[in-house]
């Protein structure tokens, strides 16, 4: 793997994705914007309007709220993502629990202005990634430490056209902070074959960090057939984030003429250089429905379509305009479908459940162990308890099961020599996760 490819992998992992090996929607999206939604696998979110959190999914749902509403909560993500494999040199490529646990907080507020106008605000996270491998991991150039934290600040407004139609629009400001580290792994032991001193497995060959703001917008429509049946259509725009980051490597500059043959990036001798990367977070469409089919029962459903085909390449440039890398990603558009039901037991208790399927946008030949994306199945359940007409709490739990996938990266020098042709490192990845959420809601 040459300098350009390693920088591409580093920038992708850092700029693209807070939990995609533990990002809990396909690609590197996060769905965890509310605990009440978690309990129904986020089915019907664009048509619910039962808490202030709905406004961050479809701003038109604010028209369902007759009083100021406030919601605050968090979702705790407990992933179990493991990597297995063996290099041509016989070194283990196994790594367990590469995705650390994470808290994803959220806060929402909706204020009616009159019978026709509403305003709202929220703070959530829509994208993220975190993976961690030991510093001495044999496959260090592909799996080190990757961490991206994003925050989406949203301001929105809604307008009721008539008793059936309402519309809404919002503005998004997305802050992203990224950091990535990669180490030399077993490749450090092969350097003497080229007349270079051996390097310890934990030698840092890449360090990248940066932070930036990006901006976008969202809009929605709500159609109320009657008080028991409604449909929602929402749209979230593409967000462009122009990362300006710092890159460094502990590899001596003298290694550069030969180091590339061993899959090493160009060394900077520990010095820091600047680089720029533009990342386009894709647009998303979602259609939702809600139907109260009996006095105590309702069903709700959603289908979301994310235009991941907008994410076709990664291109980074240096401070002098030179191309640091170009990498073909070739993501394809993907969808998410969810179905759920709610049971209104009495004035205090509501119970809900849901199931969902996330389609992965990552082609099989583009996977990496820092982002071992896979199709996912959700099974969810939750409940709400209303203390009175003003205050309530929500809790939700979801189990997420991912497919077992094969990941091929870089070039394994021993396997290549044995096979007489370029042979990549081969890994298998398996993952599952438990999500737990709780929130508090208050109507003023």
Contacts of 393 (CB under 8 A, 6+ apart): 384, 385, 387, 438, 439, 440, 441
Residue 316: predicted pLDDT: 67
Residue 259: predicted pLDDT: 67
Is residue 62 packed enough to be buried (19+ CB in 10 Å), middle (13-18) or exposed (0-12)?
buried
Helix (H, G, I), strand (E, B) or coil at 198: coil
CB 367 within 8 A of CB 402: no
> What is the C-alpha to C-alpha distance for residues 31 and 378, in angstroms, rounded to an integer?
12
Contacts of 419 (CB under 8 A, 6+ apart): none
Residue 249: predicted pLDDT: 81
Residue 325: predicted pLDDT: 57
CB 11 within 8 A of CB 208: yes
Q: Catalogue all structural domains in the chain, each as residue range(s) with its CATH number.
A: 33-441 (2.40.160.60)
- The runs of H, that is alpha helices, within 189-337 are 256-259
Is residue 160 packed enough to be buried (19+ CB in 10 Å), middle (13-18) or exposed (0-12)?
buried
**b/e map 247-262, b = 16+ CB within 10 Å:** bbbbbeeebbeebbeb
Please, which residues bridge with residue 121 across strands? 109, 155
Q: What is the pTM of this model?
A: 0.85
Helix (H, G, I), strand (E, B) or coil at 256: helix
Instruction: Express the helix, strand and coil content of the chain in percent, nearest 5 each.
Output: 15, 50, 35
Residue 102: predicted pLDDT: 86
Per-residue pLDDT of the chain (444 residues; tens, 9 = 90+): 343 343 333 333 333 332 233 333 444 456 678 999 999 999 999 999 999 999 999 999 999 999 999 999 999 999 888 999 999 889 999 999 888 888 889 999 999 999 999 999 999 987 677 788 999 999 888 888 877 778 899 999 999 999 999 999 999 999 988 787 889 899 888 888 777 788 899 988 888 777 889 999 999 999 999 999 999 999 999 988 888 777 788 888 777 777 666 666 667 788 887 877 777 788 899 999 999 999 999 999 999 998 887 777 766 676 766 655 566 677 788 899 999 999 999 999 999 999 999 888 877 777 778 766 778 899 999 999 999 999 999 999 999 988 888 888 888 888 888 888 888 989 998 888 899 999 999 999
DSSP 26: S
Number of C-beta neighbours around residue 189 at 10 A: 16
């Amino acid at each position: 793997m040459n300098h350009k490819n390693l920088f591409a992998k580093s920038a992708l992992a850092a700029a693209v994705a807070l939990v995609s090996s533990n990002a809990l929607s396909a690609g590197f999206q996060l769905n965890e914007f509310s605990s009440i939604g978690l309990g129904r696998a986020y089915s019907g979110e664009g048509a619910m309007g039962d808490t202030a959190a709905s406004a961050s999914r479809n701003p038109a749902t604010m028209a369902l709220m007759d009083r100021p509403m406030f919601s605050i909560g968090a979702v705790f993500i407990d992933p179990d993502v493991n990597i297995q494999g063996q290099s041509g040199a016989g070194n283990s490529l196994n790594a367990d629990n590469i995705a650390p646990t994470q808290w994803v907080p959220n806060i929402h507020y909706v204020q009616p202005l009159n019978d026709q106008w509403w305003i709202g605000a929220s703070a959530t996270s829509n994208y993220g990634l975190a993976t961690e491998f030991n510093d001495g991991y044999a496959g260090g150039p592909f799996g080190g430490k990757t961490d991206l934290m994003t925050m989406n600040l949203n301001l929105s407004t809604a307008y009721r056209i008539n008793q059936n139609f309402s519309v809404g629009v919002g503005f998004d400001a997305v802050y992203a902070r990224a950091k990535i580290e990669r180490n030399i792994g077993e490749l450090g032991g092969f350097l003497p074959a080229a007349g270079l001193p051996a390097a310890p497995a934990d030698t840092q060959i890449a360090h990248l960090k940066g932070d930036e703001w990006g901006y976008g917008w969202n809009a929605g429509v709500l159609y109320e057939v009657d008080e028991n049946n409604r449909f929602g259509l929402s749209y979230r725009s593409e967000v462009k984030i122009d990362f300006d980051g710092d890159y460094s490597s502990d590899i001596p500059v003298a290694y550069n003429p030969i180091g590339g043959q061993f899959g090493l990036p160009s060394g900077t001798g520990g010095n820091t250089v600047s680089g720029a990367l533009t990342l386009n977070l894709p647009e998303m469409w979602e259609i939702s429905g809600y139907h109260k089919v009996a006095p105590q029962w309702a069903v709700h459903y959603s289908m979301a379509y994310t235009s991941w085909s907008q994410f076709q390449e990664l291109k980074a440039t240096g401070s002098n305009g030179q191309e640091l890398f170009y990498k073909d990603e070739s993501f394809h558009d993907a969808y998410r479908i969810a179905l759920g039901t709610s049971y209104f037991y009495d004035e205090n208790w509501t119970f809900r459940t849901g199931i969902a399927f996330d389609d992965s946008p990552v082609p099989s030949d583009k996977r990496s162990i820092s982002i071992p994306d896979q199709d996912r199945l959700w099974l969810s359940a939750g409940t709400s308890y209303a203390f009175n007409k003003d205050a309530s709490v929500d809790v939700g739990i979801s189990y997420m099961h991912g497919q077992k996938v094969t990941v091929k990266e870089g070039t394994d020098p021993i396997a290549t020599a044995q096979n007489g042709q370029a042979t990549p490192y081969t890994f298998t990845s398996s993952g599952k996760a438990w999500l737990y959420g709780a929130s508090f809601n208050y109507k003023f």
